[in-house]
Amino acid sequence: MTAMLHIDGLWKSFAGFVATRDVSFELLAGETHAIIGPNGAGKTTFFNLITGHLRPDKGSVSFEGRDLVDLPPQKIVRLGIARSFQRINIYPRLTVFENVQVALIAHEGQQWNLFRPGRSLHRQGTQELLELVGLAPEALETAGELSYGKQKQLELAIALASQPRLLLLDEPTAGMSPQETGETIASVRDIVKARGLTLLFTEHDMSVVFGIAERISVLHHGEIIASGAPDAVRNDPEVKRVYLGEHGHV
Amino acid sequence: MPQRRHLIASAIIVLLLALVPLAGSRYAVDLTTEVMIYALFALSLNVLIGFTGNISFGHAAYFAIGGYACAILLTTYGWPLALALPAAVVLAGLVAAVVGYFCVRLTQIYFAMLTLAFAMLVWGVAFKWKEVTGGDDGFTGIKMPAMIAHHVGYFYFTLIVVAAGIAALWVICHSAFGLTLVAIRENSQRAGFIGVDTRHMRWAAFTVAGTFGGLAGALFGMYHRGMYIENAFWTESAQVLIMVLLGGIYSFIGPIIGAAVLHLLQTFTNQYTPYWPTVLGLILLVIVMVLPDGLIGLARRVKARRGRS
């Protein structure tokens, strides 16, 4: 397998606080990779640096050989990277259906079409994505009125509408009940497998992480202190000391 | 199919409006002409407010540019209407594109303040450039083509142009472009990360709004046979903003209702008292306190309540 995402010597600080410290990282095509670390370790910052929402102070990010550092988010998504956000990030006053439909319109570059009725476009594609994430029954509901777990599912559908090859999920199960967590993870795993996606995700729930990740990287104070197969990471003395130990055993 | 229902309803409204002059009242014809022009003006502003989520405090600028340009081209340069009107609309659109280029770099209150600043600049030009615009005497004595010089002829002309303008705005607002604008309004960060260049889209929306605002202004100037610097003043921008808010920003037809209600209220109020600004203030108070989504929102809530009981 070759590296799909290649990050080298990445730095980012905010007013003197170093959120990302000399991070080098490789993501292999087709793998499912988890980033773990305590709150404030810099996981979301790391995602934002990849997707162009933040600009690194130093270092390089390349995706399939293309440099991402100076690209704005809307260009990066077109290269085949999609993400969900840690805090719910949908269009609350649109229907569930329209939330996904707009993403398909944008993916096809039809947002500049001033004549074709927007609501008639991609009806089938939207329906299929909603069925994939289990939201077909809620298609006509106002997105902002969905339960928290379902809004997270909608985020996933929006991300998938961009036809990504790399999917970044920032805490996909945060705030979910144990049952919702189980369902979400099962559906994410199936989708990733069926579409041959590369998945990079952050997660708090260790059972989720060790259940689906093929490789795990541990972020601590903005640095990657360990990276490897789940068992190797679990037994890494440094990881045990700074992170896993605080949570008891895993 | 909802679209067909809308089409039939619109056709009926246009037909009913076409009957207004048959009643034989000059007053009714004039009032309806004014309402139609304001309806187009308010709708054009709502492309920015309701559909894109950007509040402009300077929309009168494009109204005034359209109005002055059409008046000057007709009168000073003797252009035929068939050239003067499109040219005025294009000019308003071009100025909106230039101003919008700078404004969409900002958001929220900073965006609003910049639109206001540019509008005051336009007002200043109308005021100072006396030999072209007439300065504070206004630009009067517009040469009207004979066909629409009579008030009934002008009424039908306005009806056709406004209906075409509203139809065009309807298509734009309900297009893939319009739906994407709504996504930007709802969550511009997320819209960016489905691959939408939100700044360019907002710029386009600004230009569309200015273009149709210019069309409304051109109709207004010809109707009054003159343009005055007050038409470019910030109070004019505020008034159209209140029309939009009164009708409701989250529906396409809201601004039309808002324009009609506010203009009729103003006309009737002026017959009894000189204190229209006070009444306007009270209306604004009511909108902000109890009608956050305007009259359309109120109608929807009443309907929902009836449906439940």
Q: What's the 3-state SS for B159-217? A: HHHHHHHHHHHHHHHCEHHHHHHHHHHHCHHHHHCCCCCHHHHHHHHHHHHHHHHHHHH
Q: How far apart are CA B273 and CA B265, in angstroms?
A: 12
How far is A66 from A6, CA to CA, in rounded Å? 10
A37 backbone dihedrals φ, ψ, rounded to 5°: 160, 155
Backbone angles phi, psi at B129, to 5 degrees: -85, 60
Under 8 Å CB pairs connecting chains A and B tally to 103
Reference B67, options B48, B46, B95, B43; nearest CA is B95
Amino acid sitting at position B201 = M
Closest CB to B175: pick one of A93, A118, A161: A118
Contacts of A92 in chain B (CB under 8 A): 186-187
B141's tokens: 């004595």
pLDDT the model gives residue A249: 47
- In this complex, the residue of B3, B177, B250 whose CB is nearest that of residue A111 is B177
Under an 8 A CB cutoff, do B193 and A74 touch?
Answer: yes
CA-closest candidate to residue B184, choices B169, B204, B200, B198: B198
C-beta of residue A172 within 8 angstroms of C-beta of residue A152: yes
Residues of chain A with C-beta less than 8 angstroms from the C-beta of B190: 85, 89-91, 158
State whether ipTM is beyond 0.85. Answer: yes
Q: How far apart are CA A232 and CA A215, in angstroms?
A: 9
b (16+ CB within 10 A) / e for B207-217 = bbbbbbbbbbb
Of the candidates B248, B215, B170, the one whose C-alpha atom is nearest the C-alpha of residue B13 is: B170
* Structure-token pair, residue A42: 């810099």
Residues in chain A: 250
Interface test with A, best of B172, B181, B196 (most A CBs within 10 A): B196
What is the fold of A1-80+165-180+197-250? Rossmann fold (3.40.50)
CA angle A228, A232, A238 (to 5 degrees): 95
* Residue A246 confidence (pLDDT) above 60: no
Residue A141 CB partners (closer than 8 Å, separation 6+): A95, A96
Q: Are A35 and A222 in contact (CB under 8 A)?
A: no
Tens of pLDDT, residues A17-62: 999 999 999 999 999 999 998 888 889 999 999 999 999 999 999 9
Nearest CA in chain B to A91: B186
CA B164 to chain centre: 14
Q: Where are the domains of chain B?
A: 2-233
Q: Per-residue confidence of chain B (309 residues) as pLDDT tens digits?
A: 457 888 899 999 999 999 999 998 999 999 999 999 999 999 999 999 999 999 999 999 999 999 999 999 999 999 999 999 999 999 999 999 999 999 999 999 999 999 999 999 999 999 999 999 999 999 999 999 888 999 999 999 999 999 999 999 999 999 999 999 999 999 999 999 999 999 999 999 999 999 999 999 999 999 999 999 999 999 999 999 999 999 999 999 999 999 999 999 999 999 999 999 899 999 999 998 999 889 999 999 899 888 776
**Structure confidence at residue A109 as a pLDDT band (50, 70, 90):** very high
Q: For chain A, how many helices (H) and strands (E)?
A: 9, 10
Q: Where in chain A is the domain with CATH 3.40.50.300?
A: 1-80+165-180+197-250
Both structure tokens of A53 = 């929402």
pTM, full prediction: 0.92
Asked if B166 and A65 touch (Cβ cutoff 8 Å), the reply is no
Quote the pLDDT of residue B288: 87
Q: How far does the CA of residue B147 sit from the closest CA of chain A (Å)? A: 32
Q: Which helix (H) or strand (E) holds A11?
A: strand A3-14
- Extract the tokens encoding A204: 């708090």
